[in-house]
Amino acid sequence: MLTFKTTLTSLALITGALSAGFCQNAAQPGAAQPKPLISSIYTADPSAHVFNGKIYIYPSHDIEANVAQDDEGSHFAMQDYHILSMDRIGGKVTDHGVALSLKDIPWAGRQLWAPDAAFKNGTYYLYFPVKDKQDIFRIGVATSQSPTGPFKAQPNPIPNSFSIDPAVFTDTDGTSYMYFGGIWGGQLQRWHTGKYEANGSKTDLKKDNEPALSAKVVRMSRDMLTFDEPVRDAVIVDKDGKPLLGGDHDRRFFEGGWMHKYNGKYYFSYSTGDTHYLAYAVGNSPYGPFTYQGILMKPVTGWTTHHSIVEFQGKWYIFYHDVELSGKTHLRNIKVRELTRRPDGSLETITP
């Protein structure tokens, strides 16, 4: 997550104007650009899940907080979460209102960033990154009996959690894992020694010829409230099995990880951040290593790109965001479109 010294805003406005004529609340493979799923509020970072045969979306709720833009993403000063649902792709999108507020999280300081959700043991879990009162990103968890909340936050962050963008994946054997992390504003680079460096780098480690920082993966405890083991690196390697390097900005992990499983393989997808791609890598274990495969989606309008992938009624969909509605990088809107998977399991690159 970072700042936006680009001309993408004007590009967004042009694209928004061009696409304004096509709008269905639908994934339209091979057709016009999908339209924002909801325009009454700004939404981003959509984590989609199917619970009880229905699609639930757990997005960030972007607001104009009038905070100056900086390299740490301070202008993304979100204060609550709204959960959205839809009975079918292309159907009506319902906003279920505020599900969790910053003010109701006892340990939180500022910036509620990209959340995710899970269901287990008859309970819905909302996982969220937020800066604590020392301004260090931690990951919290809140619970509810309903997929739409309201959610009640645990009194403390998940022990040993740090950085941003939790994505919780439950494997076919019922074991759940959390993937997390993000560099630059997501602070992952400040944890490279295992301890938080308050005066550490604000961006990359600047070690271009060393292995890139990895996303993190950890098995969740049975009650889904804590980590069940020490956090591990989810390493992304090239086709020769060598870890991607820090200077490989087109391919290395930046933030926004997501896991899905297809035909027994583990597909880890993520944002490359400053090069604005969604990329994916495939492995034989939920822990990786994951072999880089290619670009899943080319840059959207706006600086950030963040997604989730979900199967619904036999088809695969990608939920993502751009800035069509506002033209402003911190006021985003979510969209959905169908993914095209080739017979060998690879994914076609989407040009948004």
Catalytic (active site) residue 348:
no
Query: Which of 283, 1, 317 shows the shortest CA–CA distance to 165?
Result: 1
**Tokens of residue 81, six digits:** 């979460």
Asked if 16 touches ligand FUB (CB under 6 A), the answer is no
- The burial of 171, by beta-carbon neighbours within 10 Å (0-12 exposed, 13-18 middle, 19 or more buried), is given as middle
- Per-residue contact flags (x/-) with ligand FUB for residues 29 to 48, judged by CB under 6 A: ---------------xx---
Asked if 166 touches ligand FUB (CB under 6 A), the answer is no
Nearer to ligand FUB by C-beta: 144 or 329? 329
Residue 121 region by backbone torsions, left for phi larger than 0, else alpha for psi between -120 and 50, else beta: left
Q: Residues touching ligand FUB: how many (CB under 6 A)?
A: 14
Interface of this chain with ligand FUB, residues 100 to 119, rule: CB under 6 A: 113-114
Instruction: State in angstroms the smallest separation of the CB of 296 from ligand FUB.
Output: 15
Show the beta-strand stretches assigned E in 272-331.
278-283, 290-297, 307-312, 315-322
Instruction: State in angstroms the smallest separation of the CB of 169 from ligand FUB.
Output: 17
Asked if 139 touches ligand FUB (CB under 6 A), the answer is no
Nearer to ligand FUB by C-beta: 238 or 323? 323
Cα separation of 5 and 16, whole Å? 20
Catalytic hit among 248, 255, 322, 324: 255
Asked if 1 touches ligand FUB (CB under 6 A), the answer is yes
Nearer to ligand FUB by C-beta: 163 or 341? 163
∠ Cα 115 117 122 (to 5°): 155
Cα separation of 208 and 323, whole Å? 31
Contacts of 331 (CB under 8 A, 6+ apart): 42, 62, 63, 64, 323, 325
Q: Where are the alpha helices (DSSP H) in the chain?
A: 8-19
- Per-residue contact flags (x/-) with ligand FUB for residues 243 to 262, judged by CB under 6 A: ------------xx------
Whether the CB-CB separation of 320 and 301 falls below 8 Å is answered with no
The β-bridge partners of 126 are 117, 142
- Per-residue contact flags (x/-) with ligand FUB for residues 181 to 200, judged by CB under 6 A: -x------------------
Choice from 33, 43, 60, 161 touching ligand FUB (CB under 6 A): 60
Catalytic (active site) residue 274:
no
Could you list the active site residues?
A: 45, 255
Contact positions toward ligand FUB, by CB under 6 A? 1, 44-45, 60, 76, 113-114, 164-165, 182, 255-256, 304, 306
